[in-house]
A and B are shown apart, each in its own frame.
Chain A
Amino acid sequence: MNLKEWIFTTDHKRVGVLYLIGSIAAFAVAGILALLMRAELSTVGPTITANPTNYNVWLYGHGAMMILGFQIPALTGFFANYCIPLMIGAKDVAFPRVNALSVWLFYVGIILALLTFVMPDPPDVMWTGYPPYSTITTGNTAMYTFTVLILGFASIIGGVNFLTTVAYMRAPGLTWNKLNIFVWCTLGAFVLQLIFVPVLGTAVTLISLDKYLGTHFFDPTQGGDVLTYQNLFWFYSHPAVYVIFLPFIGVIYEIVATFSRNRVFNYKMVVYGGVFGVVALSGEVWVHHLYVSGMADWLRIGQMITTLMISVPVGLLVIGLVGTLYKGSISFETPMLYALGVLFLFLIGGLTGIPLAVTSLTVHLARTYYVVGHFHYVMAVAGTFAIFAGVYYWFPKVTGRMYNEFWGKVGFWITFIGTNLVFWTMMDIGVKGMPRRYYDYSHFSQFEGAHQLMTLGAVILGVGFVIAVLNWIIGAARGPKAPDNPWNSNSLEWSTVSPPPHGNWPVPPSVGADWYPYGAAKK
Chain B
Amino acid sequence: MHKTTKRIPLILAGMLAATAAWAEKTASGSVIKDPAAGWDHLWREVIIDITIIGILFALMTAYFIWKYRRRPGNEVGNGPKLSAAAAVAWVVIPTFVFLSDDLYVAANGWQLWNNYREVPADRLEIQLETGMYSFDYTYPNGVRTQNELKVPAGKPVLLRMTSRDTLHNHFIPDFRVKEDSMPGRVTYLWFLPKEVGKEHVVTCASYCGVMHSYMASKIVVLAPEEFRAWYDQEGSKQGGSIKTVAENKAATASKS
**With A52-B210, A266-B90 known to touch, is A294 a contact of B184 (CB < 8 Å)?**
no
B207 touches A352 (CB 8 A): no
Q: Does A330 contact B (CB under 8 A)?
A: yes
Tell whether A147 is near chain B: CB-to-CB under 8 Å: no
Asked if A137 lies at the interface with its beta carbon under 8 angstroms from chain B, I say: yes
With beta carbons under 8 angstroms apart, the residue of B64, B75, B102 that contacts A312 is B102
Q: Are A126 and B207 in contact (CB under 8 A)?
A: yes
CB distance from A40 to the nearest CB of B (A): 11
Chain B nearest CB from A123 CB (Å) reads 13
Q: Which residues of B contact A431 (CB under 8 A)?
A: 43
Q: Classify chain A's interface size.
A: 35 or more
Give Cα distance in the complex from A431 to B214, angstroms.
20
Does A112 interact with chain B (Cβ within 8 Å)? no
Q: A347-B54, A439-B212 are in contact. Are A432 and B173 (CB under 8 A)?
A: yes
A348 to B55, alpha carbons, bound, how many Å?
Answer: 10
Q: Is the CB of A261 within 8 A of B87?
A: no
A58 to chain B, nearest CB (A): 13
Which segment of B25-33, B77-85, B241-249 sits at the interface?
B77-85
Residues of chain A from 286 to 336 with CB closer than 8 A to chain B in the complex: 292-294, 297, 300-301, 304-305, 308-309, 311-312, 315-316, 318-319, 322-332
Separation of A453 and B56 alpha carbons in the complex (Å)? 29
Q: Is the CB of A437 within 8 A of B207?
A: yes
A268 at the interface (CB under 8 A from B): yes
The answer for the CA separation of A207 and B104 in the assembled complex, in Å, is 40
Q: How distant is B154 from chain A, measured CB to nearest CB, in Å?
A: 22
The answer to whether B43 and A361 have CB atoms under 8 Å apart is: yes
Shortest CB-to-CB span from A160 to chain B, Å, is 31
- Docked CA distance A442–B106 (Å): 36
User: Which residues B11-50 have CB closer than 8 A to chain A?
Assistant: 35, 38-39, 42-43, 46-47, 49-50
A101 to chain B, nearest CB (A): 35
B94 within 8 A of A: yes
- Is there an interface contact between B106 and A364, defined as CB atoms closer than 8 Å? no
A265 lies within 8 A of B79 (CB): yes
Taken together as a complex, chains A and B put the C-alpha atoms of A441 and B204 apart, in Å, by: 12
Q: Which of A124, A130, A368: most chain B CB closer than 10 A?
A: A130
With both chains docked as a complex, state the minimum distance between the C-beta of B88 and any C-beta of chain A, in angstroms: 9
Known: A348-B54, A364-B173. A355 touches B99 (CB 8 A): no
Q: How far is the CA of A156 from the CA of B35 in the complex (A)?
A: 45
Count B interface residues, CB 8 Å: 83
Whether, in the assembled complex, B237 has its beta carbon less than 8 Å from a beta carbon of chain A, the answer is no
Given contacts A300-B113, A355-B47, A364-B173, contact A328 B102 (CB under 8 A): no
Say yes or no: B39 contacts A360, CB within 8 Å.
yes
The answer to whether B75 and A329 touch across the interface, beta carbons within 8 angstroms, is yes
For B183, list chain A residues within 8 Å (CB): 132, 220-221, 226
Asked if B203 contacts A443 (CB within 8 A), the reply is: yes
Query: Does B185 contact A312, Cβ atoms closer than 8 Å?
Result: no
Please name all residues of chain A whose beta carbon is closer than 8 Å to the beta carbon of B201 when the two chains form the complex: 433, 443-444
Tell me if A519 counts as interface (CB < 8 A to partner B). Answer: yes
Mask: chain B, 163-186; 1 = CB below 8 Å from A; 0 = not: 001110101011011111111110
Say yes or no: is B105 at the interface (Cβ < 8 Å to chain A).
yes
The reply to whether the CB of A140 lies closer than 8 angstroms to some CB of chain B is: no
Whole-angstrom distance from the CB of B80 to the nearest CB of chain A?
7
Q: How many pairs of residues, A versus B, come closer than 8 Å at their CB atoms?
A: 255
Contact A327 to B78, CB < 8 A, known contacts A132-B165, A347-B58, A361-B46 = yes
Q: Tell me which residues across on chain B come within 8 A of A357, comparing CB atoms.
A: 105
Instruction: For residue A228, give the distance in angstroms from its CB to the closest CB of chain B.
Output: 11
Q: Does B76 contact A (CB under 8 A)?
A: yes
Question: In whole angstroms, how far apart are the Cα atoms of A387 and B165 in the complex?
Answer: 41
| Chain A residues, CB < 8 A from B165 | 132, 136
B76 touches which of A53, A268, A520 (Cβ 8 Å) = A520
Contact yes or no, A359 B207, CB < 8 A: no
- A431-476: which have CB < 8 Å to B? 431-433, 435-444
**Contact status A360-B112, CB under 8 Å:** yes
Bound-complex Cα distance A323 to B1 (A):
9
Q: Is the CB of B79 within 8 A of A367?
A: no
Q: Which B residues are CB-close (under 8 A) to A260?
A: 68, 77, 79
Residue pair A312, B70 in contact (C-beta under 8 Å): no
Q: Is B124 an interface residue (CB 8 A)?
A: no
A53's nearest neighbour on chain B, judged by CB, is B210
Q: Given A292-B180, A322-B61, A364-B178, is A329 in contact with B205 using a C-beta cutoff of 8 Å?
A: no
List of B residues within 8 angstroms of A435 by Cβ: 171, 203-205, 213
CB neighbours of A441 from chain B (8 A): 213
Find chain B residues with CB under 8 A from A432 CB: 173
Contact of A269 among B90, B185, B214 (CB under 8 A): B90
Q: What is the CA–CA distance of A265 and B112 in the complex, to the nearest angstrom?
A: 39
CB distance from B161 to the nearest CB of A (A): 8
| Known contacts A292-B180, A348-B54, A358-B109; is-contact A315 B77 (Cβ 8 Å) | no
| Contact (A351, B54) CB under 8 Å given A226-B182, A261-B76 | yes
Contacting pair A305 B102 (CB below 8 A): yes
Assuming the A-B contacts A348-B54, A367-B171, are A292 and B178 also in contact, with contact meaning beta carbons closer than 8 angstroms in the complex?
yes
Inter-chain contact B103/A305, CB cutoff 8 Å: yes
Q: A354 to B169, Cβ gap below 8 A?
A: no
A435 to B208 alpha-carbon distance, docked (Å): 13
Task: Give the chain B neighbours of A433 by CB distance below 8 A.
Answer: 171, 173-174, 201
CA distance A137 to B94 in the complex (A): 49
Known: A133-B208, A324-B79, A359-B113. A330 touches B65 (CB 8 A): yes
Note all chain B residues with C-beta closer than 8 A to A328.
64, 68, 77, 79
On whether the beta carbons of A364 and B176 are closer than 8 Å, the reply is yes
| C-alpha gap A221/B171 in the complex (Å) | 26
Does the CB pair A363–B176 fall under 8 Å? yes
Give chain B nearest CB distance to A42 CB in angstroms.
Answer: 15
A–B Cβ pairs within 8 angstroms, 10 of them: A132-B167, A136-B166, A261-B77, A326-B68, A330-B64, A347-B61, A354-B105, A360-B112, A364-B177, A442-B214
> A297-B113, A438-B212, A443-B201 provided; 15 other pairs, C-beta below 8 A?
A52-B212, A130-B167, A220-B184, A225-B184, A266-B87, A269-B90, A294-B185, A312-B94, A325-B64, A329-B70, A358-B106, A360-B35, A360-B109, A363-B176, A363-B179
Enumerate the 4 nearest inter-chain pairs by beta-carbon distance, A residue then B residue, closest first. A220-B184, A433-B173, A262-B77, A358-B109
